[in-house]
Amino acid sequence: AQTVTQSQPEMSVQEAETVTLSCTYDTSESNYYLFWYKQPPSRQMILVIRQEAYKQQNATENRFSVNFQKAAKSFSLKISDSQLGDTAMYFCAFTPNFGNEKLTFGTGTRLTIIP
Amino acid sequence: DSGVTQTPKHLITATGQRVTLRCSPRSGDLSVYWYQQSLDQGLQFLIQYYNGEERAKGNILERFSAQQFPDLHSELNLSSLELGDSALYFCASSVAMRGGESTDTQYFGPGTRLTVL
């Protein structure tokens, strides 16, 4: 069974600073996808970024980037130039094979951006 | 806007009752997933349908059932409701194998907040 661990229940950072959220996972699969989802106070689940395990290059989406360390089973999210709108719960998630299967979520990190 | 719609947004009902949650996937998506988000259990996968057929089951109670219709919309039926069923219920959709290519990203609807009193 796959597990996803987010060891930081809460974090806060000043606006415009950089913050890194940690995620580790455990799986015996060799092909899988990893995701970061954001859940703002509206409770909507919003996809932030996606990483395919077979790609060595780290995914980047504007101010969001990941540090994917496959051997260490680590998948951290870096938010640069943080903005007030980044305040949200952030969930790391895993799906095996090439998708088409359930997402397994971590417990989330509550991120607060301080003005 | 993810393109996934869920109705109703809020539902308040009493213990012992039955409710139906509805989900319309993004245009072209064949796979629908249901998740439950509660305070003590986090985000839990309930069930997946692909092109009308049940594909995978997670931690779904026997009191709960789901189906996916020919137009690909899905309904989650919750019966004999208990206080502990109060939660946010999400539907997500993905293309999941179209033209032989697997696409993996699940897009979430806005959720239905169920309150059981």
* DSSP string for residues in B65-102: EEEE-TTS-EEEEE-S--GGG-EEEEEEEE--SBTTB-
* Residue closest to A63 by CA, chosen among A15, A108, A22: A15
Say yes or no: A35 contacts chain B, CB-CB below 8 A.
yes
Specify whether the CB–CB gap between B97 and A52 falls below 8 A: no
Convert the pLDDT of each residue in A77-92 to its tens digit.
999 999 999 999 999 9
- CA–CA distance, B48 with B54 (Å, rounded to integer): 6
Tell me, what's the pLDDT at A56? 85
Say yes or no: A95 contacts chain B, CB-CB below 8 A.
yes
Q: What is the largest CA-CA distance in chain A?
A: 42
Say yes or no: A105 contacts chain B, CB-CB below 8 A.
yes
**Shortest distance, CA B103 to any CA of chain A (angstroms):** 7
Residues of A in contact with B96 (CB under 8 A): 99-100
Say yes or no: B76 contacts chain A, CB-CB below 8 A.
no
Convert the pLDDT of each residue in A45-55 to its tens digit.
999 999 988 88
pLDDT by 10s per residue, chain B, length 117: 889 999 999 999 999 999 999 999 999 898 999 999 998 778 999 999 999 999 999 989 999 999 999 999 999 999 999 999 999 999 999 986 554 445 578 999 999 999 999
Chain-chain contact of B43 with A46 (C-beta, under 8 angstroms): no
